[in-house]
Amino acid sequence: MKILVTGFDPFDGETVNPSYEAVKLLPDTIAGAQIIKLQVPTRFALSGTVLEAAVNEHRPDAVICVGQAGGRSAITPERVAINLADASIPDNAGDQPVDEPIRKDGAPAYFTSLPVKAMVQKMRAAGIPAALSYTAGSFVCNSLMYTLLYLIDRQYPAMRGGFIHVPYAMEQAVSKPLGTPSMELHQIARGLALAVEAVVENERDLTVNR
């Protein structure tokens, strides 16, 4: 099994992005699955293009995109992406779309095909704060998740895909208001590795029951 895991570059004045910093800490093999790591730009127009090129090159069995959700205190797999780009801040290219569709020919929303409940259960069983999320926002994170699920719907129906938001890294919280949630990078990476394990186990169960 081959799994593509992506994270973003820093944005909004930050010097690090915990999504890709944690992805870099993942081992190259998890539960027998090959892990392909990819950094994507925090840009509406380019992030999906970079992801699609990687999918076309590697043809993974599953794709897990990871992004930063400052203010959240847990690792949160997302259930749904909406066909809306509505940015409160500019992306790294200075683009700031308002009330624009991500894909004019796409569905209003797409649901993840990852086993998100099993992912959350596995992380929480290991003592890592995790919860389901029902909103990926309307910034580049949602745009990338929507683009991935659109790609799966149109070209790769056998591929699974979805998105996970992670908290600020602890070093980011130093400059934030007192009480801002954060998580240590190795703990984030451990949570992501467990989420990957849940994906692999779910795929094996599906294969056995076919």
> Could you give the residue numbers annotated as active site?
78, 141, 165
Helix/strand/coil (H/E/C) assignment for every residue in 26-85 = CCCEECCEEEEEEEECCCHHHHHHHHHHHHHHHCCCEEEEEEECCCCCCEEEECEEECCE
Amino acid present at 165 = H
Rounded distance, CA 1 to CA 197, Å?
A: 11
Task: Give every strand in the sheet of 76-77, ordered side by side.
Answer: 29-30, 33-40, 2-8, 62-68, 160-166, 76-77
